[in-house]
Amino acid sequence: MSRYEQGIEKFREIKGEGAEKSLERLKSLSPDLTRYIMEFAFNDIYSRPGLDLRSREIATIAALTALGNAAQQIKVHTICALNVGVTKEEITEVILQMALYAGFPAAINAMQAVKEAFEEYDKQNPGSIKQAGGIDIHKKKAISA
Amino acid sequence: MSRYEQGIEKFREIKGEGAEKSLERLKSLSPDLTRYIMEFAFNDIYSRPGLDLRSREIATIAALTALGNAAQQIKVHTICALNVGVTKEEITEVILQMALYAGFPAAINAMQAVKEAFEEYDKQNPGSIKQAGGIDIHKKKAISA
Amino acid sequence: MSRYEQGIEKFREIKGEGAEKSLERLKSLSPDLTRYIMEFAFNDIYSRPGLDLRSREIATIAALTALGNAAQQIKVHTICALNVGVTKEEITEVILQMALYAGFPAAINAMQAVKEAFEEYDKQNPGSIKQAGGIDIHKKKAISA
Amino acid sequence: MSRYEQGIEKFREIKGEGAEKSLERLKSLSPDLTRYIMEFAFNDIYSRPGLDLRSREIATIAALTALGNAAQQIKVHTICALNVGVTKEEITEVILQMALYAGFPAAINAMQAVKEAFEEYDKQNPGSIKQAGGIDIHKKKAISA
Amino acid sequence: MSRYEQGIEKFREIKGEGAEKSLERLKSLSPDLTRYIMEFAFNDIYSRPGLDLRSREIATIAALTALGNAAQQIKVHTICALNVGVTKEEITEVILQMALYAGFPAAINAMQAVKEAFEEYDKQNPGSIKQAGGIDIHKKKAISA
Amino acid sequence: MSRYEQGIEKFREIKGEGAEKSLERLKSLSPDLTRYIMEFAFNDIYSRPGLDLRSREIATIAALTALGNAAQQIKVHTICALNVGVTKEEITEVILQMALYAGFPAAINAMQAVKEAFEEYDKQNPGSIKQAGGIDIHKKKAISA
């Protein structure tokens, strides 16, 4: 399997059901950029053993919030984070914490993107709506990740 | 206990032995700024229950790397991360991953700061030098955090 | 009165009539983030005696322009600035000056946000439409601020 | 001819047919900002002899991508770049390369803006649609620039 | 008098005694860049009537803090701010306030630069050392500015 | 030849004599980061046929200036740019132009880094000192690049 194919496989593992749609949108924008993202980001980096996927998604959401110009990417990685077992509460905590390092406007804008991603996720995963206050079935996946 | 004192206590828990020195340096710069950092950052945010300290430090190091102008703060939070049980390997993985979101220059500069913090940490914790390849005694603390 | 309540009071003083609506929108996004903004931003910082509110709003608009990713916040603080006595001309001057420090794209984008805020302000304050060329009744408030 | 008029002339040379429309939109936003952009950007800088216009537009698109908050300006300068003889392929290469220095989100967002500008350009220049794979008639202009 | 000469005159008015030294250092770096800074920044922008110099320096220090990579420029404009009548306390307040918009690391780094500039200023203006707690003789200048 | 080895070869072609030293310094910092830079940056991107190396280095210097926190990388790519035939004058023009998009502080700081790189380059290439005003022997290389 090529680096590209392995990257796509990793991306599917992280992004879940919406992976194909994200991939198609990215490819329609630029096949080359898509290839590098799958090869370098998802095959080379996200597949490295030294850090679990939960922590990787937490790091990514923190960084995207700090960058301040990546609302679309925050949405994508909020879904990814939920899929690998980060809870809604934990994602919200990361955004709140970013107020300390990137200021309130960056935190407000990221919170808006996260909220939209939560709504999209709930629509596609009706059974998980009660996650915030109840049992997080996704968390189990994370432990083995 | 005041919010300020509780913040300092949390900061000591996270920063470990070097906390007093950091605190003194910050206070000599600005007592007011120090107060807000202890009150808002360490009492209000870092003490919130929704996210463990390991994940908080991972998020912070990711954000500081993405900001690109916070070498001194990366050093401080590398020590904090090690103290709450993030391993050197995990910190290094976070920096590598940031190349995807903030580019190679930001990753290179952060890696330089992290490396200097590792050396400082090893000097002050002679017993932990073998951490990367051996048993991480700090990790236990993190599980209960 | 709690820090939160005092922060809201300060926010109302600065934001004027639109304060409730801003507050509701922010709370629907995140009650915790709203609380920290009211407590830390408006109670702790904006209530400090060492700098008048006119200067504080000028500083904020300058910073938001330089950050380059805070159009919504520029709109909010343009209204705040007008409310505490900064004139439209002065706000426009701040944006123009930012071309020197953050470049033309940041200045153009901020000017767009400011213009939209001016239009919204004029709609809600019909009597103040002639401000730019006439007598600025808000300025009096600023002197005593 | 004043610096302002000379700047406008340079801007027309670079921006081509769409120059008037861009100029009107900018002037409706702020006549002063427009004046400084024409005087300082287009008369003082873009008219300097030490660097050809092709290279200047490549540098500008690279910088706007790295800044990460200038989608509208990327669109304008994509048209400018095409007009002075940079090919679509070259513009795309600049964006891809920016993934190295500003990260993938900045590259994705810039690619989106560039794609929209290409579509707008093709609509206004029906004869140039085959540029990517065929002969680039604009390149000739660039050699004499 | 040329735009360049008028810009230098304005710069001298704002920067005070240290103007020549700043100018020489800048010219040794790039005569062209120096020319544009004097012409565009100090002649075109800082000489505009719509905003007093005190407010201009407050806006600049706020923006430089938010940019996060301009320690040397913060030092220069701290001296400028003191010269046009902004007090040390007011400058410190601007930096504190920036924690809200650009985060704590940006505020800490700016505070360090400001502190160094204060020390330099006190060395060159022995009579003004007591400014923070006493009578601010510079403020009078600002009123007429 | 592996992607890593091909990347190193490309890096040597671009960086010239100083390549080994840069490579060693980078490897001592992080072998993994070095590998990704050689594989992704120099093998995947800089080796793509769609944009000549002269334009690639111009784009990189523009982006690094706009990022504002990459002085060390500006120095490296100034040497790279000179090696692939960009003249000192052209590099200086790129920095001047960046004042338009990233503001004067970013341009001043980049100019400082470029000046230091020029001095280092002249020390190692005594015959090229007269480049700015004379014949640029490097330019020939660029044409065939």
A108 vs C73: CB contact, 8 Å cut-off? yes
Is residue F139 predicted with pLDDT exceeding 90? no
Q: Tell me, what DSSP letter sits at residue D87? A: -
Structure tokens at B116: 């200097």
pLDDT of residue E52: 98
Res. C129 pLDDT band, cuts 50 70 90: low
Is residue C132 predicted with pLDDT exceeding 70? no
Contacts of F33 (CB under 8 A, 6+ apart): B95, B96, B99, B104, B107, B108, B111, F26
Contacts of C103 in chain F (CB under 8 A): 99-103, 106
* CB contact E59 to F (< 8 Å): no
pLDDT of residue F122: 96
Q: How much of chain C exceeds pLDDT 90, in percent?
A: 83
What is the distance between the alpha carbons of residues F68 and E64, in angstroms, rounded to a whole number? Answer: 12
- Per-block average pLDDT, block size 10, for chain D (145 residues)? 97 96 97 98 98 98 96 97 98 98 98 98 79 41 37
CA of D68 to nearest chain B CA: how many angstroms apart?
A: 11
Contacts of B41 in chain A (CB under 8 A): 100
Buried b (16+ CB within 10 A) or exposed e, A76-112: bbbbbbbbbbbbbebbbbbbbbbbbbbbbbbbbbbbb
N-term to C-term CA, chain F: 21
Q: Tell me, what DSSP letter sits at residue A69? A: S
Q: Which residue stretches of chain E have pLDDT < 70? A: 128-145
CA of D92 to nearest chain A CA: how many angstroms apart?
A: 9
Structure tokens at F17: 């004599």
Q: What is the pLDDT of residues A75-104, one digit of tens each?
A: 999 999 999 999 999 999 999 999 999 999
Q: Which residue stretches of chain A have pLDDT < 70? A: 128-145
Structure tokens at D58: 């490549």
C115 vs D29: CB contact, 8 Å cut-off? yes
How many Cα atoms within 13 Å fall on the side-chain side of residue B7? 17
Average pLDDT over all residues of chain B = 90
Q: What is the pLDDT of residues D102-121, one digit of tens each?
A: 999 999 999 999 999 999 99
* CB contact F64 to D (< 8 Å): yes
Res. B54 pLDDT band, cuts 50 70 90: very high
Q: CA angle at residue D52 from D51 to D57, to 5 degrees?
A: 100
Prediction ipTM score: 0.88
Find the Cα–Cα–Cα–Cα dihedral C110, C111, C116, C121, rounded to 10°. 100
Cα C142 from chain centroid (whole Å): 14
What is the distance between the alpha carbons of residues F39 and A33, in angstroms, rounded to a whole number? Answer: 15
Residue type, C57: E
Is residue B131 predicted with pLDDT exceeding 90? no
What is the distance between the alpha carbons of residues F17 and C77, in angstroms, rounded to a whole number? Answer: 53
What is the distance between the alpha carbons of residues F58 and F77, in angstroms, rounded to a whole number? Answer: 9
pLDDT of residue C126: 84
B48 vs A96: CB contact, 8 Å cut-off? yes
Listed by number, the residues of chain E in 71-100 with a beta carbon closer than 8 Å to a beta carbon of chain F are 72-73
Judge whether D102 and D65 are in contact, CB under 8 Å: yes
Judge whether D70 and F70 are in contact, CB under 8 Å: no
D101 vs B100: CB contact, 8 Å cut-off? no
Contacts of E40 in chain D (CB under 8 A): 36, 40, 44
CA of F61 to nearest chain C CA: how many angstroms apart?
A: 17
E101 vs A105: CB contact, 8 Å cut-off? yes
pLDDT of residue C125: 87
- Residue where the block lists tokens 């984070």: A81
pLDDT of residue E127: 73
Residue type, A4: Y
* CB contact F137 to E (< 8 Å): no
Average pLDDT over all residues of chain C = 90
What is the distance between the alpha carbons of residues F105 and C98, in angstroms, rounded to a whole number? Answer: 11
pLDDT of residue A125: 87
Res. B140 pLDDT band, cuts 50 70 90: very low
Structure tokens at F133: 């005003």
Q: Distances from the Cα of C44 to the Cαs of C11, C30, C31, C139, in angstroms?
A: 12, 20, 18, 25
CA of A40 to nearest chain D CA: how many angstroms apart?
A: 10
Q: Average pLDDT, stretch F55-70?
A: 97
Is residue F97 predicted with pLDDT exceeding 50? yes
Say which residue, F33 or E141, is predicted with more confidence.
Answer: F33
User: Within chain D, what is the greatest distance between any pair of CA atoms?
Assistant: 44
Judge whether C96 and D33 are in contact, CB under 8 Å: yes
Q: Which of B72, B73, B100, B104 to mutate to test the interface with F (most CBs of F within 10 A)?
A: B104
Q: Angle of helix B88-102 relative to helix D104-124, nearest 10 degrees?
A: 10
Listed by number, the residues of chain A in 32-51 with a beta carbon closer than 8 Å to a beta carbon of chain B are 40-41, 45-46, 48, 50-51
Is residue F81 predicted with pLDDT exceeding 90? yes
Contacts of E108 in chain B (CB under 8 A): 26, 29, 33, 72-73
What is the distance between the alpha carbons of residues F58 and D51, in angstroms, rounded to a whole number? Answer: 10
pLDDT of residue D135: 39
Helices assigned H by DSSP within chain A: 3-15, 19-29, 31-36, 53-67, 71-83, 88-102, 104-124, 137-144
Q: Average pLDDT, stretch B17-44?
A: 97
Q: Average pLDDT, stretch C112-116?
A: 98
Contacts of E4 in chain D (CB under 8 A): none
Q: What is the pTM (predicted TM-score) of this model?
A: 0.91
Q: Angle of helix A71-83 relative to helix A104-124, nearest 10 degrees?
A: 50
Is residue F71 predicted with pLDDT exceeding 90? yes
CA of F7 to nearest chain A CA: how many angstroms apart?
A: 14
